[in-house]
């Protein structure tokens, strides 16, 4: 099994995906263990002094003014975890929780939190055992870290609350730890706080969304090319020299992908109307501009994610010179903004894909295709309601594109009076990515059928490969009306699993 070694300098996006989705094992480097021990010495020295230090010998948030005596400090750390594990609603997905735990471990291993090496090792042991804390949908405002979600994870380290075992069964966390020979953690000064203060949930969801969107944007370039081909559109608008004079890199990449898919097509550039088309509709002609803008948005989001992956987010933090200082680095604004930005881009990509699908189904705009791509229009409805489903998904994505980060709701007796709502931005982006996959799948379903209905002219080799692979995967072709939901589910699985991109790349080589 693949192993990820965590050091002091952060981790990569691929590390996070390997642990969250691939079940990779986690090991702590010798460098990380040494840094953990050194930072712990600093915290313990401060704890022995009479002067109050936030998070070490004081309460938290609006209660930070109280100095906590040494005999109550262990109870203080237990209490913050128990009281902050206040989430409600549906359970969060296993991959999100594993990303959440791993990213908190990443920051702990930076040597900036003051957590003991034994606590970090227990975090790694829980991940390696396949134990997943039960974390709930609601509870984070995305400001002083993803507090409630991280608290539910810390509760598991203490052997309390519920968790899911590697067999998928939810059991008391203490029983699961015992079954895997893991000793529950007895938290000491600052450790409870250090396990809760971080943007780890929203960052983990951002990284997974970026990975999914990378495949989806390539898929959308393929389906846009198939739609252009089915509509007998021109590929001249994809010429590199046209995109060079508006030098947005994402636009050039999308145009190049579409051009690669359409290479060798006999369908492009034809018309069946009495008067030739001078230009294709915007949804066809401007596909690279819209998809390209989304790609550039993703590039900015990756930059933010990489910076956050290199960060040590905690409050207070142990600095290299030994000072322990309060700060505001836990605020989720940088991550929240790009999560919202990606939801906007995804909604627009879905919107333009739906417009192409509608054009394929409309006999007045499809340039000779049968109404709704039906076998016997009137007797058969064809793909009429598939487009309804696509439109419903797009409408929902437009609502999900409303920025969560534009909102703020005060908490903690006005101590935390401006919050990021980054967790909420991440949760709605996950839904948006799911919906975008379905929208692209429906365009694929319609465009593949439309290409097959164009007789007498040969589609591009890459197009033929995409359609053939879809058919092999159970995505049915043209014919009389049938129960459509299973066909659309098969198209969704085909796109979601990356098979569409793989089929095309087998002909074109790697897409951008």
Q: Which residues are catalytic?
A: 54
Helix (H), strand (E) at residue 201? helix 200-230
Which residues have a Cβ under 8 Å from the Cβ of 210 and sit 6 or more positions away?
A: 13, 298, 301, 302, 305, 342
Considering only CA atoms, which of 135, 80, 125 is closest in space to residue 102? 125
DSSP single-letter state for residue 186: -
In the block, which residue shows the tokens 């971080």? 198
Q: For strand 162-164 and strand 132-133, is the pairing parallel, antiparallel, or unpaired?
A: antiparallel
Please give the Cα distance from 73 to 69 (Å, whole number).
7
CA distances, 229 to each of 55, 238, 292, 443, 511 (Å): 62, 13, 20, 13, 18
Cis peptide bond N-terminal to 27, omega within 30: no
Please give the Cα distance from 427 to 432 (Å, whole number).
9
Please give the Cα distance from 311 to 482 (Å, whole number).
53
Please give the Cα distance from 213 to 498 (Å, whole number).
11
Q: Left (φ > 0), alpha (ψ -120 to 50) or beta: where does 85 sit?
A: beta
Please give the Cα distance from 51 to 233 (Å, whole number).
75
- Which pair of tokens denotes residue 53? 């230090």
Sign of CA dihedral 504, 505, 509, 510: positive
Which residues have a Cβ under 8 Å from the Cβ of 339 and sit 6 or more positions away?
A: 202, 205, 206, 209, 301, 404, 405, 422, 425, 426, 429
- What's the angle, vertex CA 365, arms to CA 490 and CA 293, rounded to 5? 65
- Which pair of tokens denotes residue 13? 């996006």
Please give the Cα distance from 226 to 357 (Å, whole number).
11
Contact (Cβ atoms closer than 8 angstroms) between residue 491 and residue 442: yes
Reduce the DSSP state of residue 227 to 3 states and report it.
helix
Which residues have a Cβ under 8 Å from the Cβ of 91 and sit 6 or more positions away?
A: 134, 135, 136, 137
């Amino acid at each position: 099994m693949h192993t990820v070694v965590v050091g002091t300098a952060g981790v990569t996006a691929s590390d996070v995906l390997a642990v969250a989705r691939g079940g990779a094992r986690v090991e702590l480097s010798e460098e990380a263990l040494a840094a953990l021990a050194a930072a712990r010495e600093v915290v313990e020295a401060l704890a022995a002094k009479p002067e109050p230090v936030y998070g070490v010998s004081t309460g938290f948030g609006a209660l930070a003014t109280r100095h906590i005596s040494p005999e109550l400090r262990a109870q203080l750390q237990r209490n913050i975890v128990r009281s902050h594990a206040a989430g409600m609603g549906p359970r969060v997905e296993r991959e999100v929780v594993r990303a959440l735990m791993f990213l908190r471990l990443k920051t702990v291993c930076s040597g900036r939190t003051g957590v003991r090496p034994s606590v970090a090792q227990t975090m790694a042991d829980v991940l390696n055992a396949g134990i997943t804390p039960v974390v709930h949908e609601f509870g984070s405002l995305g400001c002083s870290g993803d507090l409630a979600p991280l608290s539910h994870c810390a509760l598991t380290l203490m052997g309390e609350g519920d968790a899911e075992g590697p067999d998928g069964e939810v059991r008391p966390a203490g029983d699961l730890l015992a079954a895997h020979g893991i000793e529950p953690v007895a938290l000491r000064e600052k450790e409870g706080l250090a396990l809760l203060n971080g943007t780890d949930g929203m960052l983990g969801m951002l990284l997974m969304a970026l990975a999914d969107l990378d495949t989806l944007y390539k898929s959308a370039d393929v389906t846009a090319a198939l739609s252009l081909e089915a509509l007998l559109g021109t590929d001249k608008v994809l010429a590199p020299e046209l995109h060079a004079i508006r030098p947005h890199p994402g636009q050039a990449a999308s145009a190049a992908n579409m051009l690669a898919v359409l290479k060798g097509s006999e369908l492009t550039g034809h018309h069946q109307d009495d008067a030739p088309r001078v230009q294709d509709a915007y949804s066809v002609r401007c596909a690279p501009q819209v998809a390209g803008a989304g790609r550039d948005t993703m590039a900015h989001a990756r930059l933010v994610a990489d910076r956050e992956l290199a960060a040590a987010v905690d409050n207070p933090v142990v600095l290299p010179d030994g000072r322990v200082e309060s700060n505001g680095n836990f605020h989720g604004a940088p991550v929240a903004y790009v999560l919202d930005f990606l939801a906007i881009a995804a909604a627009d990509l879905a919107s333009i894909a739906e417009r192409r699908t509608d054009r394929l189904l409309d006999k007045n705009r499809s340039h000779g295709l049968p109404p709704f791509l039906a076998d016997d229009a009137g007797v058969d409805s064809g793909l009429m309601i598939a487009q309804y489903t696509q439109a419903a998904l797009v409408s929902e994505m437009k609502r999900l594109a409303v920025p969560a980060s534009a909102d703020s709701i005060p908490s903690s007796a006005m101590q935390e009076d401006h919050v990021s709502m980054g967790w909420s931005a991440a949760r709605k982006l996950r839904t948006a990515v799911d919906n975008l996959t379905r929208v692209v799948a429906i365009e694929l379903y319609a465009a593949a059928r439309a290409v097959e209905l164009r007789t007498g002219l040969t589609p591009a080799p890459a197009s033929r490969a995409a359609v053939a692979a879809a058919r092999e995967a159970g995505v049915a072709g043209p014919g009389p009306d049938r129960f459509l939901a299973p066909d659309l589910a098969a198209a969704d699985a085909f796109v979601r699993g990356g098979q569409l991109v793989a089929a095309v790349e087998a002909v074109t080589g790697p897409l951008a």
